[in-house]
Amino acid sequence: MDVREEKYLALKKVHQDFADIRKEEQCRTCACFYVDMMGVVLEAVKAFRRSENGNELADVEKDFEKWLTEASSLDLHKCMGCRPCLPVPTFNKFSERMDTLNSLEQSELQPVKVSTFSPSEFKDYPWPVQPGDYEVLQAKASVAVVLLGNLGDFHACSSLEGIAIAGSLTTENLGVEHILKNVIANPFIRHMFLFGKDVSGHLPGNALISLVDNGIGNSHKILGATGARAILKNVLTSEVEHFRRQITIHNLMNQNDFTSLKEQVLMLNSSEPVPFKAGLRVDLVGVTEATPASKLRLDPEGYFVVMIRKGRKNPIYVEHYRNDGRITNIVEGQDAATVCSTILRIGLVSQMDHAAYLGRELAKAELSLLTDKVYIQDRAQGDLPCE
């Protein structure tokens, strides 16, 4: 098989398919279509072109960038749960094909550290290992509760005995990965309850059930999952198999009455749960501790003065100056994200550290509008080098 040629054909086909889908009324202003799907495909096109160092697919890249630019000026809507959702089958088929082709070129990730430990050693390991929207209740209890979507009613679980952790889940990839890693790092958790209505399009509840029932394929796609992108790129196959052996799934999807959850948890706790034989923690990458900048580099494009004007239609007001002190541009807007993207689009920033600083200051300015706190612009970190 010519992997390069197969990738080229897959990218050409998805380009044509997306061009047709864009013509559909319900897809033309769908954020999922542009952000979650088209943006991913564009990155795949760019990666292909970088690897080939040629002009092939230049027209495809140009089209995707044009479509995404046009979409940025539209009022995009969130997933409406369309049946059928036209982009999802096309995107899934493309993703599966590309992941299969990529898997032929890559070996599985090599972790920097793998730790296994007995239940009695659990106390020696910090837990949970992944951040998220959850609440730890009784760390050595046997039950984890997954609240699908933005249900987020952790307090309803806090009064129940036998729950180790309760948290929300909205995505079928990173969210599932974080849950998996937290669960296998706690050998006391043996049961997982899925509660609430599954999230349209993403279907993370379906992904978890499919993961336990079927595992993952060579491309790390969850076998049998029907969500938009149910691919676990940041877990090892050994982690998935550990999870499948450790956990029993209890499906309470489409329920919103915590009474049924309480009854089933009590039933499980009536018998003494046996911990799994071992906990597992896999660190794929090391952790870098952040340190302040030691040197300040002036951006050749100049600097910004950020101000707020409360009560105005566009309350965030930014002046841009050349380094010799001459003003060049004024940008105003209603929120930090819009102002920042506009500044980047018109090319007033040329350094990543300057862009990061600008983002921080604009976020602070927006926060001051929401909280009535006084906004004071901070200087950038670091000292200017001596002349």
Q: What is the pLDDT of residues 232-275, one digit of tens each?
A: 989 999 999 999 999 999 999 988 888 888 888 888 887 888 99
Q: Which helix (H) or strand (E) holds 305?
A: strand 303-308
pLDDT of residue 156: 73
Residue 385 has a pLDDT of: 56
Q: Which residues of the chain have pLDDT under 50?
A: none
User: What CA–CA distance (Å, rounded) separates 208 from 215?
Assistant: 10
**pLDDT recorded at residue 49:** 86
Buried b (16+ CB within 10 A) or exposed e, 364-386: bbbebbeeeeebeeeebeeeeee
Per domain, the residue ranges of the chain are: 3-105, 113-283, 303-371
pLDDT 10s digits, 68-113: 988 888 788 877 777 778 888 898 888 888 877 877 666 667 899 9
Tell me what pLDDT residue 17 has.
Answer: 93
63 Cβ partners below 8 Å, 6+ apart?
Answer: 15, 19
pLDDT at 220 (0 to 100): 87
Contact 29, 83 (CB under 8 A): no
Task: Look at residue 282 in the predicted model and tell me its pLDDT.
Answer: 95
Give the CATH number of domain 113-283; options: 3.90.550, 1.10.3470, 3.40.50, 1.10.287.
3.40.50
Cα-Cα-Cα-Cα dihedral of 264, 267, 269, 272, to 10°?
-140
Asked whether the beta carbons of 202 and 150 are under 8 A apart, the reply is no
The 8-class DSSP code of residue 328 comes to: E
Distance CA 147, CA 205 (A): 9
Q: Is pTM, for the whole model, over 0.85?
A: no
pLDDT of amino acid 387: 52
Q: What is the pLDDT of residue 298?
A: 87
pLDDT recorded at residue 334: 94
